Amino acid sequence: DVRRKFGQGVYGQIASVGKSRLVNDIAKEPNLTPDDLFCPAISAILAVPFLRRGEVLGLICAFKDEPDKFESNHISLFDSVAEHLAIAFENARLFEETKMMAITDGLTGLYNKRFLLERIDMELARAGRNHKNLSYLMMDIDNFKHYNDTNGHPAGDALLKEMASLIKSTIRQTDIAFRYGGEELVVLLPDTEKHGAIEIAEKLVKVIHDHPFMHR
């Protein structure tokens, strides 16, 4: 339940420096705070940061209930574990990034058509199992080709980004927005019947109508 900022307390200091630290007797460590001691039995602390590309991702900490019980080989052991752990974290992060890139539209940040086709099957099945409603909004931007021809494609891209941001900030947390393709956008509304979907659609129309888009 304790969170530390960089430089705060003994763990925050170790993280900010990025180097292993051995406190073999906590009675001789002036920078320890009561929150640094997670239980009364702690008498010695070994803290080893794990880093990737120079960034501290976290600390591995070990404790002894008597002072002067850690040895130099313990630091070597934990350094080795920390190195493997950092690689595992980095691989997991890269996997998540790659997965997100595969299902996300690069321009708007909305989910893409590929993910929509997967997700709608899942939501239909879930709605059927739980006897729930599922609604689906599909929209396109009026006169978008004319807007692009008149103002240029960079302006059109900026408009799409702005539109995506408006949609995401207007729909509920449980709703899911997608870019279907071109200027076509989709919102899935789980657990929502027709009347509720119309209300959300009308709210979206008003927000978009009132927004001061460039070149509108």
Reported as a single tens digit per residue, the pLDDT across 81-96 is 988 888 888 888 888 8
Q: Exposure pattern of 86-109 as b/e (b: 16+ CB <10 Å)?
A: beeebeeeeeeeeeeeeebbeebe
Pairwise CA distance, residues 29 & 165, whole Å: 50
What average pLDDT does this structure show over 16-32? 86
Confirm whether 97 is a catalytic residue: no
Q: What is the pTM of this model?
A: 0.61
Res 11: pLDDT: 87
Is residue 2 pLDDT above 80, yes or no? no
Active-site residue, selected from the candidate residues 123, 183, 193, 202: 183
Residue 104 CA to chain centroid, in angstroms?
A: 14
What average pLDDT does this structure show over 170-183? 94
Residues in contact with 23: Cβ distance below 8 Å, sequence separation at least 6, in sequence order:
10, 29, 32, 44, 45, 46, 47
What average pLDDT does this structure show over 61-90? 89
Res 4: pLDDT: 77
Pairwise CA distance, residues 87 & 9, whole Å: 27
Pick the more confident residue, 100 or 150: 150
DSSP bridge partners of 58: 50
Structure tokens at 82: 């920390």
